[in-house]
Amino acid sequence: MKVSIIIPVLNEADHIGDVLASLARFRDQGHEVIVVDGGSEDDTVILSHPLADKVLRSDRGRALQMNCGIENAQGDLLLFLHADTVLPADALSNMIAAVEDGHFWGRFNVRLSGRHLLFRVIEQMMNMRSCITGVATGDQAIFVSRESIDIIGRYPQLPLMEDIVFSKRLRNLGWPACLKLPVLTSSRRWEQRGILRTILLMWRLRLLFFLGVPAEKLAKQYR
């Protein structure tokens, strides 16, 4: 089973080299790495070319970029990876095993890079909530079978919460494989904005989205 790792990027020159280098082992195994750039103004594209199978250009927007990756992917299994997230060495073998066991899709546990005690609490809450609700976020490296995409369609073209809507559509096919194996995700978002402030902001945005506030309006608040 071939895996296509799809990475949407925008001005990630400081991180993309290390992330792509960590994926070299998977390329050696016959899997593919696809970088989809949304209009970077730094050296992201230049740095990506030697370390990826395909470097594509797309309109800006994570959903648009991931859909561009889907259109060009050759894999039987698609993994959507953030540019600041690192996979463990046995990530793909665990994904493949989950799909072979009958799961249409799944996600990993997440571990944040920061050392603050609150990050350990955030991790536990994210992982537990995901298993209870059957909804995953992009930080957890969502993976789906090609069959699932054929049934439910691609990512909804939303500026925010696209992973939430995508997960709910996938949940109609079946509950996700909640892999305990953790991916390591950068905690820079929380550190730059403030840990508690970021937590409260995300809770507020998700509540408003649940209550029907359009994603376009929420995206402005997120920025």
Residue 69 lies in a domain: yes
Query: Within a domain: residue 163?
Result: yes
Q: Could you read off the pLDDT tens digit of each residue along the chain, which spans 223 residues? A: 999 999 999 999 998 999 999 999 999 999 999 999 999 999 999 999 999 999 999 999 999 999 999 999 999 999 999 999 999 999 999 999 999 999 999 999 999 999 999 999 999 999 999 999 999 999 999 999 999 999 999 999 998 899 999 999 999 999 999 999 999 999 988 888 888 888 888 888 888 888 888 888 888 777 6
Total domain count, the chain: 1
Q: Tell me, what amino acid is at 121?
A: V
Residue 10 within a domain? yes
β-sheet bridge partners, residue 71: none
Give a yes or no: residue 159 inside a domain. Answer: yes
| 220 found inside a domain | no
Q: What is the CATH number of the domain that holds 146?
A: 3.90.550.10
Residue 81 inside a domain? The answer is yes
Domain residues for the domain of 174 are: 3-188
- The pTM of this model reads 0.94
Question: Which among 7, 17, 12, 20 has a CA at the least distance from the CA of 69?
Answer: 7
Residue 82 belongs to a domain: yes
Residue 222: closest CA among 207, 212, 210, 204: 204
**Is residue 209, in this structure, part of any structural domain at all?**
no
Measured over the CA atoms of residue 33, residue 142, residue 172 and residue 154, the dihedral's sign is negative
Quick: pLDDT tens for 85-135. 999 999 999 999 999 999 999 999 999 999 999 999 999 999 999 999 999
- Sequence-separated (6 or more) residues with CB below 8 Å from residue 196: 118
